[in-house]
Chains A and B, each alone.
Chain A
Amino acid sequence: MNLPRAHLLIVAAALLAAVAGFLVFRDAPPAAPTQQAVTLLPEPRPLPAFTLLDQHGAPIDEQALTGRWQLMFFGFTHCPDICPMTLQTLAAVRGRFDGPDQPGVVFVSIDPARDGPEMLGDYLAYYDPDIIGITGAEAAVAAFARALGVAVVMGEADAHGHYAVDHTTAVFLVDPQGRLAGLFRLPHRVDAMARDLERLLGARG
């Protein structure tokens, strides 16, 4: 006689708990926040001043990197593995956005002796003609890289005159005010980078 009633109570209590649980948790944020790919600086800082050349041979300075978010990285055209991968990734990230939200992509050659404007222009146009290429006098490029903490080690030339250039793989994030806002370390994934940029665009707007 009492047993079925006890069962009924248990069932009712369980139902109540389930409903309460649903009401409490349905609006709760997911337990673990989505992993960010970008490492933001505590405070954005101005880019080091520079006067270099773009891929059209025209002078370019830090003012050219304002007005939109920019993804900037350092590489060289004789780099057949990592540099194409990174350019491809950044061009794809850029392709996820339209209009003023679309980030710029900046490729700074750390091998300006081999990467003259024309070489750089042909190379970058293959990925996206809107990529800004930066080259120039070796000392000036090296100074700019150094000021950003980019480690560049020129390799010894082999018997064929070929040499590699060891370099930082981080992608630097420049904000629309032309300030260094953060950086993306490896691995560079299109989805994660695009998501972080969306978040930053949202925070700004």
Chain B
Amino acid sequence: MYFVGIDVGLYSVKSVLVDEERILLSRGVVSEEEGSKAAYRVFQEILKEGNIPEDEIASIVSTGMGRKEVAFANEKRTDQVCIARGAYYLFPSARTVLDTGAGGCRAMKLGDHGKLIDFSSNSKCAGGTGSFLEAAARVLQLDVEGIDSLALKAGSVSRVSSYCAVFAESEIISNIHRGFSKESICAGICESIAQRMHDVLRRVRIEKEVVLCGGVATNGTVVKMFEAELDFPVLVPKDPLMVGALGAAIIARDLIR
């Protein structure tokens, strides 16, 4: 028997296929199609790749912002529940999980057996989210990876003190005008994001181990600075973008059991 989790996010659709024992496949596409179409396409692709007939899929759970558009899913679950489940599956020692994607930043607290017991999200402001990182990159005429690689070389940090993303952008511009090095400005941007992430995580009371997932987890400098904020290392999955879809797949499996 096979189980599928589908995560329909802001810009991309991710899917994970599991059987009763292990993770078999994962697949993600960046798509401008509407969520239902993209979800179906990804689902078909993963079946094809795994060479599995559709009727052997015992259950499908969808998650993410567009979860309700996935008409062929048996059940729908919120991101918080799926990410918590996925993170716990990957790291049974996880007690706190932070997910930072384009749309926002949220923290989840796990209780016994990985049960979700509390969660928090960033305020409406984009500070501390992937969107802020993208906006900052535009100001510096870099791509998101460029910020990471420049920040890595920084000898100092030009601090961005404002927590409002709009103000922070103007602060970055004035740091440029002041003649601070691009490296230190990039480090400042990463530090600002790491701090906002810490703020969201703290709202659920941090307990070790901490799992970090979502797009921002691929930025090495942010991760490093986030660890410095916490004062201990965090666990980052190999594929931090797939945790929600994985959680959905595990929940799909639990449904049948």
Is chain B found bound to chain A in the same assembly? no
**Residues of chain A whose beta carbon lies under 8 Å from any beta carbon of chain B:** none
Binding site for A on B (CB under 8 A): none
